[in-house]
Structure 1
Amino acid sequence: MSAATNTAPFLTALLSKLAPGTHARIGARLAKHLPDLYQTLQTLYGNQFSNEQAYATWLTELLQVAGEAVAARPLPLQVLDDARSTDKNWFTKENMLGYCCYADRFAGDLRGVQKRIPHLQELGVTYLHLLPFLKARTGENDGGFAVADFDAIEPRLGNMADLEELSTALRAAGISLCSDFILNHVADDHPWAVAAKQGDPHYRDYFYHYPDRTIPDNFEQHLGQVFPQVAPGNFSFVPELQAWVWTTFYPYQWDLNYSNPKVFADMAAALLRLANRGVEAFRLDSTAFLWKRAGTKSMNQPEAHQILQALRSLVEIAAPGVLLKAEAIVETAELPAYLGNNDGANSKQECHLAYHSSLMAASWVALAEQDTSLMRHVFAGTPAQPEQSSWLTYVRCHDDIGWNVLRPEAGLKTEDVQQRLARVSRFYSGEGSYARGASFQANDPAAVHGTVGMAAALTGFSSAHTATEKHLARQRLLLLYGLSFCFGGMPLIYMGDELAQINDEAYRQVPAQAADSRWLHRPVWDDELYAQRHSGSHDAGTVFNALCHLLPQRRQLPQLAAQEARQLLKANNPAVLAFLRGSVDDPLLFLGNFSEHSISLDMVELLADHDIPGRGWVDQLSKLDVDLTVTLQAYSQLWLVRKQGNMTQD
Structure 2
Amino acid sequence: MTASGRIQGVTITQNAQFEATADPLSLGHLLPASGADGADLPSGPHSIHALPSLAPQLSAVDSGTSDHASVDDLISMARARMQQIELGQQAQHAEFDRRLERHLEPLIRSMLQLYGQHIAPDELALVVGDLGSLLASSWLARSDFLRGMDSDREHQAPWWDSRHAVVGACYADRWAGGFQGVEQRIPYLKDLGVTHLRLLPPFLASESFDDGGFSVASYRSTNPKMGSIGQLADLGQRLQENGISLMLDVVLSRTAPDHPWANAAARHNSFFEEFYRIQPDGPTGDAAQRSVWAQGPAWERVVPGDPHDRRRVRTSEHAHQWDLDWTNPRVFVAMAGEMLHVAGLGAQVLRVGSPWHLWRGVPGTPDVLAAGRQVLRTLGTVLQIVAPSVVLESNDPVELRVTDGGIQVAEGLDRAALIWSSIATRDATLLAQEIRNHGAPLAGKGYLQPVRNHDALQWSFSDEVVTAAGLNPDAHRRFLGEFYSGRYQGSFATNPAVPSRSGRIGAAVCGTAASLAGIRHEPGPGADRVLLAHAVAFSLGGVPELWLGDELGVLDDPLWSLEAGHELDPRWAHRPRVEQALIDSRHDLFSVSGRLYGAIRRMLQVRAAAPEFDGQSVIDFDTRNEPVVGYQRPSSDGSVVLCLANFSDWGQYVTGETLSGFQSKATLLQEDTQIDLRNGVLLEAHGWAWIRCIPRRAPRL
Larger Rg, first or second structure (1 or 2): 2
Q: Which residue of 1 aligns with 2:301?
A: 238
SS of equivalent to 1:290: helix
Per-residue CA deviation, residues 145-164 of structure 1 (Å, 9 max, x unaligned), is: 11111111122322122112
Aligned pairs for 1:46-65 (under 5 A) are 46-51=116-121, 55-65=124-134
Aligned mates of 2:260, 2:82 — CA distance in 1: 32
Change (3 A) 1:293 1:434: same
Aligned mates of 1:264, 1:632 — CA distance in 2: 54
Change (3 A) 1:388 1:183: same
Per-residue CA deviation, residues 468-526 of structure 1 (Å, 9 max, x unaligned), is: xx332222111111112112211111021010011101112124111111111010113
Query: Could you say what the CA RMSD is over the residues aligned between the two structures, in angstroms?
Result: 3.1
* 2:590 paired residue among 516, 537, 543: 537
Change (3 A) 1:64 1:387: farther
* 2:435 paired residue among 379, 384, 388: 379
SS of equivalent to 1:95: coil
Q: What amino acid maps onto 1:274 in structure 2?
A: V
SS of equivalent to 2:546: strand
Aligned pairs for 1:452-491 (under 5 A) are 452-464=510-522, 470-491=523-544
Q: What amino acid maps onto 1:578 in structure 2?
A: G
Q: What is the CA-CA distance between 1:529 and the residue it aligns to?
A: 2.3
SS of equivalent to 1:301: helix
1:74 equivalent in alignment to 2:112: no
1:574 equivalent in alignment to 2:621: no
Aligned mates of 2:372, 2:515 — CA distance in 1: 36
Q: Which residue of 1 aligns with 2:421?
A: 365
SS of equivalent to 1:157: coil
* 2:329 paired residue among 251, 261, 271: 261
Q: Which residue of 2 aligns with 1:24?
A: 94
Work out whether residues 289 and 298 of structure 1, in 8 Å CA contact, stay in contact via their aligned partners in 2. no
Q: What is the CA-CA distance between 1:95 and the residue it aligns to?
A: 0.5
* 1:497 paired residue among 550, 556, 562: 550
Q: Which residue of 2 aligns with 1:339?
A: 400
Work out whether residues 75 and 108 of structure 2, in 8 Å CA contact, stay in contact via their aligned partners in 1. no
1:190 equivalent in alignment to 2:251: no
Q: Which residue of 2 aligns with 1:159?
A: 228
Q: Which residue of 2 aligns with 1:448?
A: 506
Work out whether residues 171 and 201 of structure 2, in 8 Å CA contact, stay in contact via their aligned partners in 1. yes
1:104 equivalent in alignment to 2:167: no
* 2:351 paired residue among 272, 283, 292: 283
Per-residue CA deviation, residues 450-472 of structure 1 (Å, 9 max, x unaligned), is: 011111011120111xxxxx332
Q: Which residue of 2 aligns with 1:642?
A: 693
Aligned mates of 1:188, 1:446 — CA distance in 2: 28
SS of equivalent to 2:350: strand
Aligned mates of 2:473, 2:648 — CA distance in 1: 22
Per-residue CA deviation, residues 73-119 of structure 1 (Å, 9 max, x unaligned), is: 11111111111001041343111111111111112221121111121
Structure 2 stretches lacking a partner, 5+ long: 1-69, 304-308
Change (3 A) 1:111 1:227: farther
Work out whether residues 485 and 497 of structure 2, in 8 Å CA contact, stay in contact via their aligned partners in 1. yes
1:620 equivalent in alignment to 2:659: no
SS of equivalent to 1:182: coil
Aligned mates of 1:324, 1:580 — CA distance in 2: 29
Shifted more, 625-634 versus 252-261: the winner is: 625-634
* 1:550 paired residue among 597, 603, 606: 603
Shifted more, 406-415 versus 151-160: the winner is: 406-415
Q: Which residue of 2 aligns with 1:38?
A: 108
Aligned mates of 2:117, 2:204 — CA distance in 1: 35
SS of equivalent to 1:605: coil
Change (3 A) 1:416 1:127: same
SS of equivalent to 2:586: coil
Work out whether residues 611 and 635 of structure 2, in 8 Å CA contact, stay in contact via their aligned partners in 1. no
SS of equivalent to 1:282: strand
Q: How many equivalent residue pairs? A: 617
1:119 equivalent in alignment to 2:191: no
SS of equivalent to 1:48: coil
Q: What amino acid maps onto 2:494 in structure 1?
A: R
What TM-score results when the alignment is normalised by the length of structure 2?
0.82
Work out whether residues 174 and 575 of structure 2, in 8 Å CA contact, stay in contact via their aligned partners in 1. yes
Work out whether residues 428 and 451 of structure 1, in 8 Å CA contact, stay in contact via their aligned partners in 2. yes
Q: Which residue of 2 aligns with 1:508?
A: 561
Aligned mates of 2:517, 2:619 — CA distance in 1: 27
Per-residue CA deviation, residues 276-327 of structure 1 (Å, 9 max, x unaligned), is: 2222221224544222136999997211111111111111110011122112
Aligned mates of 1:166, 1:505 — CA distance in 2: 31
Shifted more, 32-41 versus 519-528: the winner is: 32-41
Work out whether residues 295 and 319 of structure 2, in 8 Å CA contact, stay in contact via their aligned partners in 1. no
Q: Which residue of 2 aligns with 1:467?
A: none
Aligned pairs for 1:403-442 (under 5 A) are 403-430=459-486, 431=488, 432-441=490-499
Q: What is the CA-CA distance between 1:213 and the residue it aligns to?
A: 5.8
Aligned mates of 1:8, 1:249 — CA distance in 2: 36
Aligned mates of 1:288, 1:526 — CA distance in 2: 39
Aligned mates of 1:402, 1:44 — CA distance in 2: 33
Q: What amino acid maps onto 2:166 in structure 1?
A: L
Q: What is the CA-CA distance between 1:607 and the residue it aligns to?
A: 6.0
Q: What amino acid maps onto 1:457 in structure 2?
A: S
Work out whether residues 400 and 409 of structure 2, in 8 Å CA contact, stay in contact via their aligned partners in 1. yes
Change (3 A) 1:211 1:203: same
Aligned mates of 2:144, 2:538 — CA distance in 1: 34
Work out whether residues 404 and 448 of structure 1, in 8 Å CA contact, stay in contact via their aligned partners in 2. no
Q: Which residue of 1 aligns with 2:391?
A: 323
Structure 1 stretches lacking a partner, 5+ long: 329-334, 342-346, 465-469
Q: Which residue of 2 aligns with 1:332?
A: none
Q: Which residue of 1 aligns with 2:239?
A: 170
Work out whether residues 292 and 299 of structure 1, in 8 Å CA contact, stay in contact via their aligned partners in 2. no
Aligned mates of 1:120, 1:356 — CA distance in 2: 23
Change (3 A) 1:351 1:395: same
Q: What is the CA-CA distance between 1:562 and the residue it aligns to?
A: 3.1
* Greater than 6 Å deviation, 4+ residue runs: 3-8, 294-300, 646-649
Q: Which residue of 1 aligns with 2:458?
A: 402
Work out whether residues 459 and 476 of structure 1, in 8 Å CA contact, stay in contact via their aligned partners in 2. yes
Per-residue CA deviation, residues 189-227 of structure 1 (Å, 9 max, x unaligned), is: 11111111111111111111234565989xx9xxxx998
Shifted more, 624-633 versus 197-206: the winner is: 624-633
Change (3 A) 1:379 1:543: same
Aligned mates of 2:226, 2:339 — CA distance in 1: 20
Q: What is the CA-CA distance between 1:236 and the residue it aligns to?
A: 3.5
Q: What amino acid maps onto 1:567 in structure 2?
A: I
Aligned mates of 1:560, 1:44 — CA distance in 2: 40
Q: What amino acid maps onto 2:620 in structure 1?
A: L
Aligned mates of 1:315, 1:169 — CA distance in 2: 22
SS of equivalent to 2:587: coil
Q: What is the CA-CA distance between 1:559 and the residue it aligns to?
A: 1.6
Q: What is the CA-CA distance between 1:620 and the residue it aligns to?
A: 0.6
Work out whether residues 289 and 299 of structure 1, in 8 Å CA contact, stay in contact via their aligned partners in 2. no
Q: What amino acid maps onto 2:605 in structure 1?
A: P
SS of equivalent to 1:265: helix
* 1:141 paired residue among 191, 202, 210: 210
Aligned mates of 1:517, 1:296 — CA distance in 2: 39
Aligned mates of 1:561, 1:502 — CA distance in 2: 32
Q: Which residue of 1 aligns with 2:372?
A: 304
Work out whether residues 208 and 246 of structure 1, in 8 Å CA contact, stay in contact via their aligned partners in 2. yes
Work out whether residues 186 and 253 of structure 1, in 8 Å CA contact, stay in contact via their aligned partners in 2. yes
SS of equivalent to 1:549: helix
What TM-score results when the alignment is normalised by the length of structure 1?
0.88
SS of equivalent to 1:348: coil
